[in-house]
A = this chain, B = another copy of it.
Amino acid sequence: NWSANWKRIVAGVLTGTGAVLTYGLLYQEVEQADAGLPTTEKRSSLPVFSHDEISKHRSLEDGVWVTYKGGVYDITEFVPMHPGGNKILLAAGGALEPFWALYAVHDQEYVLEILSQYKVGELSVEDLKKQHNAKASDPYSSDPERHPVLRVNSKKPFNAEPPPEILTENYITPHVLFFKRNHLPVPQVDPVSYRLQVEGLPKGALTLSLKDLKTRFPKHTVTATLQCAGNRRSDMNKVKQVKGLNWGISAIGNAKWSGARLRDVLLAAGFGPEVAKWARHVHFEGLDKDVSGSAYGTSIPINKAMNEDGDVLLAYEMNGEDIPADHGFPVRVVVPGVVGARNVKWLGRIVVSTEESSSHWQQLDYKGFSPGTDWSKVDHASSPAIQELPVQSAITIPADGAEIDRSDETLTVKGYAWSGGGREVVRVDVSLDGGKTWQVAQLRSGDKGQPDEPSPPPGRAWAWKLWELTAPLPPDADELEIICKAVDNSYNVQPDSIPPIWNLRGLLSNAWHRVKVKVTED
C-alpha cells in the first residue's frame, strides 16, 4: 500500500515550510533537482494531455492533477495525506517543479516513487517544451554567500551552524559564524523603500521606514543569546529518530543587537491603558514568503513586548553593523530570553491582537510533548507554544572522540551555558567521570582576558556565559566521559538524560551534555 507507505515515511514532516526538516537528516546537502527536458524514450504509452486540459483539474471536485518532468499525475487521493496539508493544492493544475524547488525535501527517491503511483498520462511535447523554457528560476539563487566553515544542515532553505570549537572562541559571536536558521529563501529588501507596518491599534496602521525606526526612537543595545529550539536535536536522534534538521550543539549564538524598543514603537502606534485591557499577543510577520504568499510569522505574549524590562528590540544592527541578510536585513525582532523562532527576521508587519498567531509555526510547530506522544496521537492544542527556553549548556572543547595525551597531566574543558527568560546562569558543574563527581567551572561574560560585561539586573540576563575548567587528568583512566550541566538563578537544572525529554520534533534538547575522550600514551 503505497499511500500508507508514503504516510509512514513523511507523515507530519512536510508541514508547511517545516518541509525540509527530516530529509536534512538523510541528505545533508539537498540540491535542486535538474528539471531538464526528458528524452522521448522515457515517455510511456499513457494518454497525452495538453496543459489546458491539465489546468482544469485544480480542486478535489475536479480532481487534482500535476505535472512533473513531462509526466501527468492525478494526485487527488493523495491530497488528504499530504503532510504539508493543503499547500499541495497550490501546484494543482500545473507543474510541481517550482514548488519542489522551494521545498527541496521533495527531491527524494521516495517521493518520486510515491508520485509514480499516480501517473495518468504524459504532457504534450509542445507544452513540455514551453514549460521547460519557462522553468522557474531557483528562488534561493539570491541567497547571500556564507562562510565555508559552517556545517550545513540544509542548503535550501539555508540552515547551518559553526563548528563547536570555534563557537566559544568569542563571547560575541561574529555574524559569519552565527547559526543560520532560515525557513525560506532570504528576501531581498531595499532599505530605502522598506516599510514596517504596525497594526491592530486604535489609531490605525503605523507605517515606519528604516530611517523612522532609527531616528524617531531611542537606540537601545542588548547583548542577547539566540538559540534554535532544535539545538542539540542530534542528541535526541541518537535515542530515537525525530523529525527535524539534525542540529549539533551550535545552533546558538550571542550578539549585540541594536534597534528601537518594540515597546516604544507600540506606544508611538497608540498602545495605551485601553489597549492593555484587551491586547494579549503581538504578531510578527517576516518578508520571507512561501509560494502561497504566506509570510513566516509567530507571536509573543503582550507582557513580554510591553514590559520595560522585556528588552524586545526591532533591531537594525548586529554587533555594531547593519544586520546581515541571513539575520534579517534590514530589521528583525530580537526577543531576548525567548526561542529563536519568535525572533522574526526581515520583519514586515507587527500586529497587536487578542489572539496568538494562527501561523503554522505558532500552532503546529515549536511545541514540546511528552516522550510517550507520537505522531498518531499528537494534539498540538494541548501544548503551549515555546517562548522562554529552559537552562542549557554544552561542551565545545574537547570534541567527542578527541584523544588526550596522558602526559598533558591537566585537561581543559570549555563550553557555553545559557538560560531563557532572563535567568542568569549561576553555576556550571563539570564531571570527568561520567557524573560520579563534579567540579565547578569558571564562568565569564566576556572574552578571555577581558573584563566581564557588567552584571545584568535581575531577570534581564539575556546573554550566555562561557565557562572553562582546568583539572588534573584522572590517573589510570583510558577513557573519560565528560559531562556538563548548568544551573540558572531560579535554580533550574538540566535533566540527566535524553530519553525522558525525548519528543517527536526533537525540540528542547537540554539534558546534560556528554563527550567521551580517549587518554592515549605519548
Within 8 A of B (CB), among A251-266: none
Within 8 A of B (CB), among A377-397: 383-384, 386-391
Set B368, B373, B384, B426: member contacting A383, Cβ < 8 A: B426
A370-B427, A384-B426, A426-B384 given; A490·B439 CB < 8 A: no
**What copy number does this chain have within its complex?**
2
User: Is A93 among interface residues, defined by CB-CB distance under 8 A?
Assistant: no
B496 touches A389 (CB 8 A): no
A49 surroundings in chain B (CB, below 8 A) = none
Q: How far is the CB of A502 from chain B (nearest CB, A)?
A: 10
B490 touches A390 (CB 8 A): yes
Instruction: Report the separation of the CA atoms of residues A501 and B491 in the bound assembly, to the nearest whole angstrom.
Output: 10
User: Is A481 among interface residues, defined by CB-CB distance under 8 A?
Assistant: no
A438 touches B370 (CB 8 A): yes
User: Is A429 among interface residues, defined by CB-CB distance under 8 A?
Assistant: yes
Residue from A459, A492, A500 having most chain B Cβ neighbours under 10 A: A492
User: Is A38 among interface residues, defined by CB-CB distance under 8 A?
Assistant: no
Residue from A301, A423, A493 having most chain B Cβ neighbours under 10 A: A493
A384-B489, A389-B490, A493-B390 given; A372·B429 CB < 8 A: yes
User: Is A309 among interface residues, defined by CB-CB distance under 8 A?
Assistant: yes
Q: Mark A82-115, 1 if CB is under 8 A from B, else 0.
A: 0000000000000000000000000000000000
A429 touches B490 (CB 8 A): no
B435 touches A500 (CB 8 A): yes
Chain B's closest residue to A436 (CB) is B499
User: Is A440 among interface residues, defined by CB-CB distance under 8 A?
Assistant: yes
Instruction: Report the separation of the CA atoms of residues A379 and B492 in the bound assembly, to the nearest whole angstrom.
Output: 20
Within 8 A of B (CB), among A149-173: none
Q: How far is the CB of A240 from chain B (nearest CB, A)?
A: 13
Chain B's closest residue to A438 (CB) is B372
Name the prevailing secondary structure of the A interface residues.
Answer: loop
Chain B's closest residue to A487 (CB) is B368
B437 touches A491 (CB 8 A): no
Instruction: Report the separation of the CA atoms of residues A458 and B356 in the bound assembly, to the nearest whole angstrom.
Output: 12
Q: How far is the CB of A232 from chain B (nearest CB, A)?
A: 13
A303 surroundings in chain B (CB, below 8 A) = 309, 457-459
Q: Mark A481-522, 1 if CB is under 8 A from B, else 0.
A: 000010101111111110011000000100000000000000
Q: Mark A449-469, 1 if CB is under 8 A from B, else 0.
A: 000000001110000000000
Instruction: Report the separation of the CA atoms of residues A386 and B500 in the bound assembly, to the nearest whole angstrom.
Output: 27
B491 touches A368 (CB 8 A): yes
User: Is A421 among interface residues, defined by CB-CB distance under 8 A?
Assistant: yes
A490 touches B387 (CB 8 A): yes
Instruction: Report the separation of the CA atoms of residues A98 and B110 in the bound assembly, to the nearest whole angstrom.
Output: 84
Instruction: Report the separation of the CA atoms of residues A386 and B371 in the bound assembly, to the nearest whole angstrom.
Output: 31
Chain B's closest residue to A431 (CB) is B500
A485-B500, A496-B500 given; A371·B491 CB < 8 A: no
User: Is A420 among interface residues, defined by CB-CB distance under 8 A?
Assistant: yes
Instruction: Report the separation of the CA atoms of residues A388 and B439 in the bound assembly, to the nearest whole angstrom.
Output: 24
Instruction: Report the separation of the CA atoms of residues A493 and B491 in the bound assembly, to the nearest whole angstrom.
Output: 11
A372 touches B440 (CB 8 A): yes
B489 touches A387 (CB 8 A): yes
Instruction: Report the separation of the CA atoms of residues A412 and B440 in the bound assembly, to the nearest whole angstrom.
Output: 42
A491 surroundings in chain B (CB, below 8 A) = 368, 386, 388-390, 508
Chain B's closest residue to A429 (CB) is B370
A-B contact pairs, 11 of them (CB 8 A): A301-B459, A387-B489, A388-B489, A388-B491, A389-B491, A390-B492, A421-B423, A429-B500, A438-B500, A493-B495, A493-B500
- List residues of A whose CB falls within 8 A of some B CB: 301, 303-304, 307, 309, 368, 370-373, 383-384, 386-391, 420-421, 423, 426-427, 429, 435, 437-440, 457-459, 485, 487, 489-497, 500-501, 508
Other than the known A421-B423, A494-B495, what 17 A-B pairs have Cβ atoms closer than 8 Å?
A: A301-B459, A303-B457, A304-B458, A368-B491, A370-B427, A370-B440, A372-B429, A372-B440, A383-B426, A383-B427, A388-B423, A390-B491, A390-B492, A390-B493, A435-B500, A495-B496, A496-B500
